Structure 1
Amino acid sequence: MLLDHDPAYAFMPYPAVPVPHAPTGPLSGLTFAAKDLFDVAGYPTSAGSPHLLALSGIKTRTAPTVQRLLDAGARLVGKTITDELAFSMSGKNAHFGTPVNGGAPDRIPGGSSSGSAAAVSNGLCDFALGTDTGGSVRAPANHCGLFGIRPTHGRVSLELCHDLAPSFDTCGYFTRDGATFERVGRVLLGDDATPLPQAPRVLLARDAFGLLQAEVREALAPALRRTQAVLGEAREVEVATEGFTTLYWAMRYIQSREAWTVDGPLIERYRLPLGPGVADRFAFSKAVTDAQVAEARVIRAAFRKRFGALLDGAVLILPTMPDIAPLLSESDEALNDYRNNALNLLCLSVLSGLPQVSIPLASRSGAPLGLSLMGPAGSDLSLVTLARRIAESA
């Protein structure tokens, strides 16, 4: 860590090793952090696990995505805590602790990019890299009151980054303000392969909003009006005609099989003492059958085709999460229930591979609450620009 202090407990306490960056560039003057899944020369990579940290050694190469930001003039200030093996959504790491949610300190920061979200929300850096497999950028963005993006799958390189479920893994980032969100996006995302049209169709995910409690819908109502004032009146659509339960299980079976393929051999070889929740998810992953995975992949393929056609030339408005962040005092069972409810919303982007941005537009009970936009594959920067416009609108 290259900061003098870390009141948010967001960073891994590695010895400070300066990381060279370009003296000038489009991100000159900005500081950033990288989730401790990305390799950075001079540092180890723990992936949130003491055993992986012990096995890591000091890396001699820097992940291309991190290097891209350094070459653009941004200065790296450290590597941030991640949930164990990135297979959680609470932000609580049984080995390295829980970073502080800068938007609601009495609530969980959200994971697995918890340290990155904590670093940005507490003002310790201007932006931070995270990864989003099942929601690990979008959930912390919602919880901590940040802009966040899950890009089109494959849009941003994950070379020299520890995998979780490769067909779902993406690299996103957090910022506190729309101007920085767009500035970083122009470097990290590059030009859109499929820019949104000047006047895209505007859709509203009626069934997704129907999953929310009345008080959450009420809290989001002003943000929804503000969004439609910028984008235009939205047409209500059903986005999960297969049923959210069907999509939830398709995502979970595929993610679990891939997570066990990536980390299972390591877990069994070293008998890793996994933390609460994480141990249960890997036990479930080991038991997933070939038949369950095969059926899930058929469901994913059909959903991608249908959902991609629905969003062709369109922007979809939907809730980021089912509610504000749970309190830190909630039980593990309550946190797991919240996670499962959240995956009903989060699975849309995951299964389709389409980009989603979360915008910090609302609050409830004094805690942040996000609203999301989704668009066609390759429309990432267009969504980032729209997010800025909406956030800055009167």
Structure 2
Amino acid sequence: MTQAPVPDGLVEAFWEYERALMSDDVPTLDRLFAPGPATLRGDANGLLVGHDQISAFRSSRGGAPQRRIVQTHVQTVDDDHALVVAVTELARGGRGQQTQLWVRTGDGWRVSAAHVSVPAPAVDTRIWRLVGDPLVPPIDSGPLDGESVAVKDLYAVRGQRIGAGNPAWLAGARTEPVHARAVEQLLEAGASVRGIARTDEFAYSLAGTNAHYGTPPNPQAPLRISGGSTSGSSSAVSLGHASIGLGTDTGGSIRVPAAYQGLFGIRTTHGAASTYALMPLSRSFDTVGWVTRSAELLRRVGDVLLPPVARNPAAELVSVPGLTAIASEEVAAVVDRYAAEHGAMRESWDLTDLPAWLQAFQTLQAWEAWQERGAWIAPRLDELGADVRGRFEAAALIDDERAVAAQDQVDEARDRIRELVRDRVLVLPSAASVAPLVGEGLDAVRTATMSLTCLAGLAGLPAVSIPRRTPAGLPVGVCLVAAPGRDRDLLQLAVDLG
């Protein structure tokens, strides 16, 4: 260490910390970090505040990258405080830096604040399966000149394979002879394809926690899940790697990551945008969707992917307290405030059948998913992540009789929901909670969220998610839902109301 005099005991504490870090000695690391709610640890993934958060992070990460100390520098503040900056060299290559503020306590030297930097990977494989500069150039010039697209790994990109979030599927996939129509339309409008982005396995999740490739980061809510199944595309847009995230929405797979990551997103009217050369999950509910960082770009993409229709400028907003109350208090408060600010009429709906509607949605979705993928998945269940495997195992048990009954109930729900929405715009939460922390249980959150997202899915309605924030700064999505075919009206409304 340089810059003497160095306070007594600091060198020994520093090297004890380093040895504990390299051996993943969590108890020693916990002891050497100052107790209390003000202790800080930050890196490129976000800031941890408080000893408890830091300890939980260490316990779950499985050790730090192996490294050696190349240089150390000490700047003494006073007898009881010192700043230590260490230059590190990683075993995998590249140099990093660690800055620690040490404080002398009655129990010895402790770290009260730390920041760690390591070389960024050439490609973050949690986000991207393939990436280029660009991967596919524009076909023509048009209204999307200069924009770049992160394509969810369900769409055909000519010359590439569809991976669907599963390495075994990718290994056996064919090389696609043509672009999916939605990809082709974006290229014809002047956009380029930045790359092919990760998805949850077979798009059968809302979390983004792919068991094979990891959880794409959520830069707007660090250490929280990204949301899925349009997870990689959403993270790429949120990080600025691409300006458009092309995805799908079956049960919320655009609206949930948009809500969790503070993005604008649209699930289009069922059948409005082309699904040609798009790998299906559940054809009764699958729709094309996309996310962007601005409402204006969201609308411009709609001008390219949606059919021209007559505008309906009517924008009578309605909110339903019974739906908003499904969400957590912090999310409900944000949605209620948005609805009030924009003059939404509060209306009471009979939601007695909502649990049965959700069950019918999930039953028919599962049955269709098994019809699509069951023959391939049945002998390969061990090659799926636990959550997706569980859904496919349940799907395999649904017989035709249950599927027909579910279809009948879906048809009834579709008619009823459309009657309730009419020519108005429904305001409700895009997701039932803020993004859960990585590692938290997700079953209850998934059920609550799907109780909200299934409404548009059941009725085939367009839905736009508009980003807002809680008082604590976490992203929340406010969802606007309208009658079939009113996609362009919703996109314009998102621009006007923001």
Q: Which amino acid aligns with 2:276?
A: E
Q: Is the CA contact (8 Å cut-off) linking 1:83 and 1:93 kept in structure 2?
A: yes
Q: Is the CA contact (8 Å cut-off) linking 2:320 and 2:347 kept in structure 1?
A: yes
| Residue number among 140, 145, 162 corresponding to 1:28 in the alignment | 145
- Offset from partner CA, 1:219-241 (integer Å, 9 cap, x none): 33432333x1xxx4424131x53
Rounded to whole Å, the distance in 1 between the matches of 2:489 and 2:357 is 27
Q: 1:204 to 1:181 in 2, by over 3 A?
A: same
Aligned: 1:303 with 2:413: yes
- Offset from partner CA, 1:299-326 (integer Å, 9 cap, x none): 1111211221222221111111111010
Aligned: 1:253 with 2:368: no
Q: 1:202 to 1:220 in 2, by over 3 A?
A: closer
For residues 1-394 of structure 1, the aligned pairs below 5 Å read 5-7=122-124, 9-13=126-130, 18-192=135-309, 195-196=311-312, 198-226=313-341, 228=342, 232-238=343-349, 241-271=351-381, 273-330=383-440, 334-363=441-470, 365-391=472-498
Q: Which amino acid aligns with 1:236?
A: E
Rounded to whole Å, the distance in 1 between the matches of 2:122 and 2:191 is 20
Rounded to whole Å, the distance in 2 between the matches of 1:377 and 1:178 is 20
- Offset from partner CA, 1:321-370 (integer Å, 9 cap, x none): 1110100131xxx2122111111001101110011111002335332001
How far does residue 80 in structure 1 lie from its aligned partner after superposition?
Answer: 0.2
How far does residue 16 in structure 1 lie from its aligned partner after superposition?
Answer: 7.4
| 3-state SS of 2:128 partner | coil
Q: Is the CA contact (8 Å cut-off) linking 1:203 and 1:237 kept in structure 2?
A: no
Q: Is the CA contact (8 Å cut-off) linking 1:324 and 1:364 kept in structure 2?
A: no
Unaligned runs of 5+ in 2: 1-120
- Offset from partner CA, 1:175-227 (integer Å, 9 cap, x none): 0111111111111123236x33x33332212210121233332233432333x
Rounded to whole Å, the distance in 1 between the matches of 2:155 and 2:414 is 29
Q: 1:15 to 1:369 in 2, by over 3 A?
A: closer
Q: Is the CA contact (8 Å cut-off) linking 1:192 and 1:380 kept in structure 2?
A: no
Q: Is the CA contact (8 Å cut-off) linking 1:8 and 1:118 kept in structure 2?
A: no
Q: Which amino acid aligns with 1:214?
A: E
Q: 1:62 to 1:115 in 2, by over 3 A?
A: same
More strand by share: 2
Q: Which amino acid aligns with 2:396?
A: K
| 3-state SS of 1:224 partner | helix
Q: 1:128 to 1:215 in 2, by over 3 A?
A: closer
- Offset from partner CA, 1:253-282 (integer Å, 9 cap, x none): 000000100110001244551102101000
TM-score for the superposition, normalised by structure 1: 0.91
Aligned residues: 378
Rounded to whole Å, the distance in 1 between the matches of 2:194 and 2:412 is 43
TM-score for the superposition, normalised by structure 2: 0.73
| 3-state SS of 2:467 partner | strand
Q: Is the CA contact (8 Å cut-off) linking 1:203 and 1:314 kept in structure 2?
A: yes
Greater Cα shift, 54-63 or 346-355: 54-63
| 3-state SS of 1:277 partner | helix
- Offset from partner CA, 1:28-48 (integer Å, 9 cap, x none): 111111100001012111011
Rounded to whole Å, the distance in 1 between the matches of 2:451 and 2:314 is 29
Rounded to whole Å, the distance in 2 between the matches of 1:109 and 1:270 is 27
Unaligned runs of 5+ in 1: none
Rounded to whole Å, the distance in 1 between the matches of 2:125 and 2:483 is 36
Q: Is the CA contact (8 Å cut-off) linking 2:140 and 2:187 kept in structure 1?
A: no
